[in-house]
């Protein structure tokens, strides 16, 4: 067994659930199995996009983030469902419970995937045997498919789990790289988006193998320090540990949303800003955090995107401060053209306990004096369903794209 568990190396698994939201719906309703199914954020409005789809739908060209109208054009028989986040939370918790039966060294990275360090699990069998047991147990107990990558580090494990879907198990060792990894297009490499891939193609880096052979000075000039990091990963070098505490690290907390239609209506725009401020404040409160910089993102009708931020003299955490700062940024930076998307992000975020020593007495007393007011507002909001002091009345909010980050925080603070 020692050949599977080298004394100086690591054995990492990356467990990736296959078409997770769609698979959960199929597990709840077996009549959906084998049919083209898509989960879409809001089928009634333009902002309705495909969140995920079954492999039957993908075979017809349906892709994640594709507008719903386009998906239906490609696949007229497509079954469309709204997301049921309660179901996905339950399924994910059960999935992670199965992983924790193997090892406590798990780093969740989203609701449907995580890394496992099984280097010390020699007594449980070979890595392949462990992966097969995990896959079989998740399928038999939860009726959910997953793919698993086995490798000596996190990057290679992630790449391996993508190589065979659904229900695949792939071993990717460093000696396998020349024929398994390096022939792949550079755009398929984890960590490389479309813009980075285009930049690399500009210097004749078409494949991952080309990235391995590229001139390091040229890469760093093109991509900065990330150029060297990407080349090291392409070579199979990734020393980053599987860190169970990584989910608690955060520097910013944000929320963004596409408007139902491009608009110049300030009432509608400020209504959405209020909604976004509430989302961010809720997440900040859940994390027992505060932040000092507020960033506003504006995306116009022509997709031009601008971000503007301001660093405040004091840390903030509540909805009203976020909203008012967001409105100020908007009023000073909006060029009057129709807006398509808005986003608010609180940056320079830290947990309260970590910055308590930095607060002077005056700041502390000022914030403490507001605490009872905030508590009272929260209690009224809990009782009546909305903050009675808000200037702008809002509709009942729905889960947004920050769900996965919220879920991780909820799950690991239970």
pLDDT of residue 413: 42
The percent of residues in the chain predicted with pLDDT above 90, rounded, is 63
Residue span(s) of the chain under CATH 3.30.70.270 come to 12-17+87-177
How high is the mean pLDDT of the chain? 85
- Is 112 known to sit in a ligand binding site? yes
pLDDT of residue 374: 54
Q: Are the C-beta atoms of residues 355 and 313 closer than 8 Å to each other?
A: no
How many other CB atoms are there within 10 angstroms of residue 24's CB atom?
25
Q: Which of 25, 56, 113, 319 does the annotation list as catalytic? A: 113
69 vs 182 pLDDT, higher one: 182
Angle at 371 between CA 367 and CA 376, to 5 degrees: 150
- Is 321 known to sit in a ligand binding site? no
Mean pLDDT of 312-316: 86
Q: Are the C-beta atoms of residues 257 and 276 closer than 8 Å to each other?
A: yes
DSSP per-residue codes, 256-297: EEEEEEEE--HHHHHHHHHHHHHHHHHHHHHTTEEEEEEEEE
pLDDT of residue 367: 47
Is residue 414's pLDDT more than 50?
A: no
**What is the DSSP secondary structure assignment for residue 402, as one 8-state letter?**
T
pLDDT of residue 201: 95
Q: Which helix (H) or strand (E) holds 311?
A: strand 305-316
State the pairing for strand pair 146-151/169-171: parallel
Mean pLDDT of 277-291: 89
Q: Which helix (H) or strand (E) holds 169?
A: strand 169-171
- Predicted confidence band of residue 371 (pLDDT cuts 50, 70, 90): low
Per residue in 123-165, pLDDT tens? 999 999 999 999 999 999 999 999 999 999 999 999 999 999 9
**Would you say domain 182-234 falls under CATH 3.20.20.70?**
no
CATH superfamily of 250-411: DNA polymerase, Y-family, little finger domain (3.30.1490.100)
Dihedral of alpha carbons 25, 31, 37, 39, sign: negative
Closest CA to 119 of 97, 103, 132: 103
pLDDT of residue 392: 36
- Rounded Cα distance, 66 and 70, in Å: 7
Q: How far lies 297's CA from each of 254, 283, 330, in Å? A: 10, 18, 9
pLDDT of residue 46: 46
0.85 surpassed by pTM:
no
35-44, 129-138, 281-290: least confidently modelled range: 35-44
Residue span(s) of the chain under CATH 3.40.1170.60 come to 20-83
Q: How far lies 105's CA from each of 159, 198, 241, 243, 364, in Å? A: 20, 36, 10, 7, 38
Per residue in 239-276, pLDDT tens? 999 998 776 666 788 898 888 889 999 999 999 999 99
CATH class of 12-17+87-177: alpha beta
pLDDT of residue 37: 97
Q: Are the C-beta atoms of residues 399 and 83 closer than 8 Å to each other?
A: yes
Active site residue 113: yes
Is residue 47's pLDDT more than 80?
A: no
Residue span(s) of the chain under CATH 3.30.1490.100 come to 250-411
Q: Which helix (H) or strand (E) holds 377?
A: helix 361-384
Q: Are the C-beta atoms of residues 20 and 146 closer than 8 Å to each other?
A: no
Fold of 20-83: MutS, DNA mismatch repair protein, domain I (3.40.1170)
Instruction: Name the CA radius of gyration of the chain, rounded.
Output: 24
The percent of residues in the chain predicted with pLDDT above 70, rounded, is 82
91-105, 180-194, 302-316: least confidently modelled range: 302-316
- Predicted confidence band of residue 398 (pLDDT cuts 50, 70, 90): very low
């Amino acid at each position: 067994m020692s050949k599977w568990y080298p004394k100086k190396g690591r054995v990492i698994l990356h467990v990736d659930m296959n078409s997770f939201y769609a698979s959960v719906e199929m597990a709840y309703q077996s009549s959906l199995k084998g049919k083209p199914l898509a989960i879409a954020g809001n089928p009634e409005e333009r902002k309705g996009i495909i969140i995920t789809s079954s492999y039957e739908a993908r075979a017809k060209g349906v892709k994640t983030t594709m507008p719903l109208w386009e998906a239906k054009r490609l696949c007229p028989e497509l079954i469309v469902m709204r997301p049921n986040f309660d179901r996905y939370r339950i399924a994910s918790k059960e999935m992670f419970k199965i992983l924790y039966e193997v090892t406590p060294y798990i780093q969740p990275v989203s609701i449907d995937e995580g890394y496992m360090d099984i280097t010390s699990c020699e007594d449980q069998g070979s890595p392949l045997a462990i992966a097969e047991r995990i896959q079989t147990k998740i399928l038999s107990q939860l009726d959910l498919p997953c793919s698993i990558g086995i490798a000596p580090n996190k990057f290679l494990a992630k790449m391996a789990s993508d190589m065979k879907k659904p229900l695949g198990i792939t071993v990717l060792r460093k000696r396998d790289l020349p024929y398994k990894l390096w022939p792949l297009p550079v755009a398929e490499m984890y960590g490389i988006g479309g813009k980075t891939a285009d930049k690399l193609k500009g210097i004749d880096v078409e494949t991952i193998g080309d990235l391995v052979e590229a001139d390091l000075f040229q890469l760093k000039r093109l991509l900065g320090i990330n150029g060297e990091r990407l080349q090291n990963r392409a070579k199979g070098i990734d020393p980053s540990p599987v860190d169970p505490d990584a989910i608690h690290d955060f520097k910013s907390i944000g929320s963004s949303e596409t408007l139902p239609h491009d608009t110049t209506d300030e009432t509608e725009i400020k209504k959405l800003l209020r909604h976004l401020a509430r989302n961010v404040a809720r997440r900040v409160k859940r994390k027992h955090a505060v932040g000092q910089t507020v960033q506003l993102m504006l995306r116009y009708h022509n997709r031009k995107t601008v971000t503007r931020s301001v660093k405040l003299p004091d840390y903030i955490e509540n909805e009203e401060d976020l909203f008012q700062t967001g409105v100020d940024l908007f009023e000073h930076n909006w060029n009057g053209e129709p807006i398509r998307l808005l986003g608010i992000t609180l940056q320079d975020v830290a947990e309260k306990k970590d910055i308590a020593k930095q607060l002077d007495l005056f700041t502390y007393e000022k914030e403490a004096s507001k605490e009872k007011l905030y508590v009272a507002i929260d209690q009224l909001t809990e009782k009546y369903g909305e903050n009675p002091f808000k200037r702008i009345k809002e509709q009942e909010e729905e889960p947004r794209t920050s769900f996965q980050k919220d879920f991780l925080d909820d799950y690991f603070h239970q």
